[in-house]
Amino acid sequence: MSTTEKYFEAIGRRKEARARARITPAAKMSYELNGKSLEVYFPTEELQQIAQAPFVETKLAQKFKVTGQLSGGGIHGQAESLRHAISRALLVYDIELRKKLKKLTFLKRDPRAKERRKFGLKKARKSPQWSKR
């Protein structure tokens, strides 16, 4: 990437996953996620749709080159964090998209995370098996 290219950058998060996305206006849509293409990094159709959702919903599908650095969490959390980052970057590109993206809840950082384990229990809420004798 040359230094003269204008790009829009944002960070998205979901559970333990973090994504830093840069969107650059381009003639052809392309993704580079940790040095891999979208189809290689997200092998299933569902994960690819999650990552592409902000562009599909705003009808900007063929206008950007996306470069992303993803880390932490699992593959699904990374796809959702990439969606969050792309949505935030689109706001930097055009603030008029805010209403549509907000309605789709792409701008909200999903606060749900794994509950911590409590002592005396096997998991967060699962208790040991009870025996009468």
Q: What is the pLDDT of residue 60?
A: 83
| Residue 133 CA: distances (Å) to CA of 100, 121, 122, 130 | 61, 20, 20, 9
Packed helices 75-93 and 45-58: angle between N→C axes, nearest 10 degrees: 10
Give me the number of domains the chain comprises: 1
| Alpha-carbon gap, residue 69 to 12, rounded angstroms | 10
Q: What is the pLDDT of residue 123?
A: 95
**Amino acid identity, position 51:** A
Q: Does 124 map to a domain?
A: no
Q: What is the pLDDT of residue 27?
A: 85
Q: Does 35 map to a domain?
A: yes
Which residues in the chain come in under a pLDDT of 50?
A: none
Q: What is the pLDDT of residue 3?
A: 55
Closest by alpha carbon to 16, among 87, 86, 76, 88?
76
| Alpha-carbon gap, residue 6 to 31, rounded angstroms | 16
Q: Does 27 map to a domain?
A: yes
Domain of residue 16, CATH code: 3.30.230.10
Q: Does 1 map to a domain?
A: no
| Alpha-carbon gap, residue 121 to 129, rounded angstroms | 10
Q: What is the pLDDT of residue 2?
A: 52
Q: Does 132 map to a domain?
A: no
Q: What is the pLDDT of residue 82?
A: 95
Q: What is the pLDDT of residue 84?
A: 96
Q: How many residues does the chain have?
A: 133
Q: Which domain holds residue 21?
A: 8-103
